[in-house]
Structure 1
């Protein structure tokens, strides 16, 4: 009976993760479509230089949001599932997360407004960039609290709310107000103003949904021990997220320091395309952390390993084909963004390799975090961030913009391999077996087919025909080699949301 109970909990947990992934994919499909529309409008109308300004603001603010959240988003994922039977403690965690983030974001937003000329002088060094910084500083508190709200939805395993607010409402508002401002001729200043309007409205939608749908939402005064427990988890994860930013986005900051807005624009277009490959990992990561936390705290390591294995294999299988397609058709894909962007093809290819490694190790980073290794996670991120900064400086100054991509992709691959090893070493969990030969074989066959299409077609016709036939061949080879019952069940659970 005990075994049956364990198996039932495993199936329930895997089902929740899979359905959450399906909802995320559904929402992210809408988000990517809306986001791509906004990006194409900006790149084609603004050009590489002004689009570079817009990009640099967003990257700089992603660093600001890490400091403003102070680990509150990850703390919600950690403690809300643990305190499922303790409503007061849940309110304490919510109070600390929102209160800390509100105070920090207001202070940081004020600092950005005040020191905008100084920030500009050390980066793109442009009067227009200073003006944009001061305009967009207003939106920092609203976006920060929105991010805390998204995390709260995930912590209670309500991916439907998360998808509505973060993957549909947010990008839709940006398309309307950011893209609309540019189309109407207000250029990059109008885009900055559009960020404010969309940020405020997005926060109002998320907060309204929270008030109406989350029962334990409220204010509770934390004790000294509760405050200590919260910050003992959240503050190390702030440094963890700073490290993550350093090894993921420090390249953009340094390109802005050494080069021009045009270089930033081209580089970021390549990065945005490669980021699509992280979609499967992001999808399964939506509900993996709270479920991993619950299983680990309950001592259900067998179920945890089974879920870790199934999820990692599926992430790699889904990510492999698009990675191969982007490697083969990099120049044609970049042409979609307009004139001048295709020069980033080698940058794109390097990022693809890094992202594929990311997919291969699955949710190992979250598994470390949720198994009480937050300090190890912090050192991983900080170490990789420092290494990435050093490598970026050395390679950018010696080989130019491409050096940033070499540095960042290399560090991304290295830290992911390290995480997978640490999960095995400290927790004895490994997701790998010989079944990975199946997707690798399918990838090789589809890659050869897509490569052969380059001898006959070019441009958009090559993209459509090559990726269509290549994708079909990938699926057919997977099917011919055999799909296990576990894989079939997982896929059905992921796509069950499309029948809602």
Structure 2
């Protein structure tokens, strides 16, 4: 399917604003909510520890990243049509999960050790943790990509019962390696508090390259889009390495293999279970429903993530600070930073989720014909993501304070719950059942993590009135 014509685009934009103006209660609700919040007090507290500047900077960069991801979803959907997009997004989700598993929980380990080493000038430790992480990731991601390539026919026909998926899996399998490597570079840059460089590496560059490929070469099949993504990940990994090299200083320090594995192995379980929480519903739906419904579900899930992009933006700033404050025993500052960041995130996320709840069909229609029927999916998933935001950076609080095992125990509840709910609800309700299972699992994961933060660190991230 090609792009919308100019007249169609004009009509769509006009329709959007006409419906928006007809729902003034959304604006009034947002306005009344904002009046209840003391912005002067919030910004005063933020400026005291320089979080405000970093958070605002991170916010705008994350806006660009979120827009890039959203535009990719729109372009893929319009170019490939609902069926072709369904095959591409299903294959892409497989790549996301397998790449995360291949990184063996090293993402947060890199942020933790780098965030703690940077203030001390231990640049040798920064280099060591990334170098060893890359070695481990290459040794795991390359075989995984090979298995996906060679077993693509089996996965397509026997697991998902979609023969056309095989060629898409073959084309996108190299992306497992590329995505894994450039993500590690981005995590190191995050630990170095290079917010813009980190987001550019992990979110923006690969999406911009993919958009350019889709448009310039007029790609029309999911196989072509998959090859474009794989090439984009390799180029992004090369650029990410160059950016990382320029961010380093001179100094000593080291991180041993033992320290690395002691931190990452519990997190590996966290990663696997977190990925199952996020994507198991989509995979199970992929075996039960038509490709068009899989595309609706994937697009709704990616769009709902716009609700939590502010969480990702704030995490970029606060995660290294969490590690440094906990290491220095500054628990009071840690609590204030955590609670203030939650309040900030809710302020920005609330209007976004309200728009998704009121105009779901209109938003989904932006992706082309056959997507507006997925409006209910967007509403369900947006609620789950808002709970994710409202609970705060609980995962990073546990990880950066050395309580990786508590986070592991948390996801050992939510991951199996997501799978069980999906197996029960998808056969009964199709894609809607998958969305419900995912939203419940995400909410469960974060609320249990809130309990662990209260037990280990002594404060409740939901008690934002204390900030």
Q: TM-score, with normalisation over the residues of structure 2?
A: 0.85
User: Per the alignment, in what secondary structure is the counterpart of residue 164 of structure 2?
Assistant: helix
SS of equivalent residue, structure 2 residue 161? coil
Q: Are residues 1:148 and 2:223 paired?
A: no
Per-residue CA deviations over 1:113-153 (Å, capped at 9, x if unaligned) read: 12111211234333431112112212322221100000000
1:159 to 170, 173, 195: 195
SS of the aligned residue for 2:369 comes to coil
Within the candidate set 203, 206, 210, 1:170 is matched to 206
More moved, 230-239 vs 167-176:
167-176
Give the Cα separation in 2 of the matches to 1:140 and 1:75: 20
2:433 is matched with which residue? 403
Alignment partner, residue 62 of structure 2: 28
Give yes or no for contact 1:38–1:178 (8 Å, CA) kept in 2: no
Match 1:72 to one of 106, 116, 131:
106
Structure 1 residue 345: deviation in Å? 1.4
Q: Tell me the residue number matched to 1:450.
A: none
User: 2:187 aligns to what SS in structure 1?
Assistant: helix
Q: C-alpha offsets along residues 267-322 of structure 1, whole Å, 9 cap, x if unaligned?
A: 11211221100011111011222110110111101100111111011111111111
**Separation of aligned partners in 2, 1:362 and 1:373:** 16
Determine the structure 1 residue equivalent to 2:413.
Answer: 383
> For the residues of structure 2 that align with 1:114 and 1:279, how far apart are their CA atoms?
35
User: Structure 1 residue 207: deviation in Å?
Assistant: 1.1
2:86 corresponding residue in structure 1? 52
How far residue 159 of structure 1 moved from its aligned partner, in angstroms, is 0.8
Q: 1:43: how far off?
A: 1.4
Q: Is residue 295 of structure 1 aligned with residue 331 of structure 2?
A: no
Residues 280/34 of structure 1: CA separation in 2 closer, same or farther (3 Å cut): closer
Aligned-partner Cα distance in 2 for 1:369–1:212? 27
Q: Quick check: 1:121 aligned with 2:151?
A: no
Distance 1:248 1:18, change over 3 A: farther
- What is aligned with 1:348? 378
1:310–1:431 CA contact under 8 A, matched in 2? no
Counterpart CA distance in 2 for 1:138 and 1:256 is 22
Alignment of 1:308-457 (within 5 A): 308-433=338-463, 435=465
Q: For 2:250 and 2:88, locate their aligned partners in 1 and report how far apart those are by CA, in whole Å.
A: 38
Mapped partners of 2:195, 2:225: distance in 1: 29
Q: Deviations over 1:238-267 (max 9, x none)?
A: 110111111111111111111221111011
What residue number does 1:198 align with? 232
SS of alignment partner, residue 337 of structure 1:
coil
Query: Is structure 2 residue 219 aligned with structure 1 residue 189?
Result: no
Instruction: State the alpha-carbon separation in 1 of the partners of residues 47 and 308 from structure 2.
Output: 25
Task: Say if 1:46 and 1:321 are closer, same or farther in 2 by CA, change over 3 A.
Answer: same
Q: What is the distance in 2 between the residues matched to 1:435 and 1:213?
A: 38
Structure 2's unaligned 5+ residue stretches are 1-44
Matches within 5 A, 1:233-312: 233-312=263-342
Aligned-residue offset at 1:13: 8.5
Q: CA deviation at 1:44?
A: 2.1
- Give the TM-score of the pair, scaled to structure 1: 0.79
Is contact 1:138–1:196 with CA below 8 Å preserved after alignment?
yes
Aligned-residue Cα RMSD (Å) equals 2.3
Alignment CA distance shift 1:269-1:97 (3 Å): same
How many residue pairs match? The answer is: 421
> Contact conserved, 1:315 with 1:359, CA < 8 A, in 2?
yes
